[in-house]
A and B are shown apart, each in its own frame.
Chain A
Amino acid sequence: DVKVTQSSRYLVKRTGEKVFLECVQDMDHENMFWYRQDPGLGLRLIYFSYDVKMKEKGDIPEGYSVSREKKERFSLILESASTNQTSMYLCASTQNSPLHFGNGTRLTVT
């Protein structure tokens, strides 16, 4: 079974802080993704990566960056956290289809 692990279930950060969300998958998947989930907006794609050191913008990349130094690890970075980045963040991986999601990180920015 595919396991996608997100390092934190809950995070509380202050406005302006730099925030790192970590994600690790154990199935040697090429593709990894970061989504955020907000009420009434569904899941929206922030960034994705098809290979180590490769990254592509999703639908809402503003205010975020990512890092993929190893195949199994995909990090989401909030350079300067803002209150509108309070959300549920979901990491996912896949070789092709379907997506395998982690359990999410609930981030609150105060």
Chain B
Amino acid sequence: DQQVKQNSPSLSVQEGRISILNCDYTNSMFDYFLWYKKYPAEGPTFLISISSIKDKNEDGRFTVFLNKSAKHLSLHIVPSQPGDSAVYFCAASVGTNAGKSTFGDGTTLTVKP
């Protein structure tokens, strides 16, 4: 039973446009959510997080939205840049102990110049 799902394996957008990456979860105990970005031949790096007491968190070009009733979160990148091309992993945990996060499969984002 996959508790965190990223249903789109890949996404392609034009430079300057918005990228929207989606993530769904099934475990209602999850209350802390993170997005990581991974370039080829590198480990994932932390991008942005959100606690369940919020429905939005913004950091520069990156915004994460959380819809608790739908058990859905999304990452918006505006404007998208070619350097954003990477694999994006959604992760969820109970509490802020992110080490025991459950990860999604990842979405490969390609931003075309």
Hey, which bits of chain A sit against chain B, CB under 8 A? Answer: 4, 9, 31, 33, 35, 40-45, 48, 58, 90, 92, 94, 96-104
- B residues in contact with A90, CB < 8 Å: 43-44
Are B100 and A45 neighbours in the complex by a CB distance under 8 Å? yes
Q: 15 pairs across A/B with beta carbons < 8 Å? A: A42-B103, A42-B104, A42-B106, A43-B89, A43-B103, A44-B103, A45-B101, A92-B43, A97-B49, A97-B93, A98-B36, A98-B46, A99-B36, A103-B42, A103-B43
Q: Give the interface size bracket for B toward A.
A: 20 to 34
Q: How far is the CA of A96 from the CA of B32 in the complex (A)?
A: 12
Known contacts A33-B99, A42-B4: A101-B104 contact under CB 8 Å: no
Are B42 and A99 neighbours in the complex by a CB distance under 8 Å? no
Q: Given known contacts A31-B97, A58-B100, what 13 new A-B pairs fall within 8 Å (CB)?
A: A31-B99, A42-B4, A42-B89, A42-B104, A43-B89, A90-B43, A97-B49, A97-B99, A98-B46, A98-B49, A101-B44, A102-B43, A104-B42
Hey, which bits of chain B sit against chain A, CB under 8 A? Answer: 4, 6, 32, 34, 36, 41-46, 49, 89, 91, 93, 96-101, 103-106
Which 5 pairs show the lowest CB-CB distances between chains A and B?
A101-B43, A97-B98, A98-B46, A43-B103, A42-B103
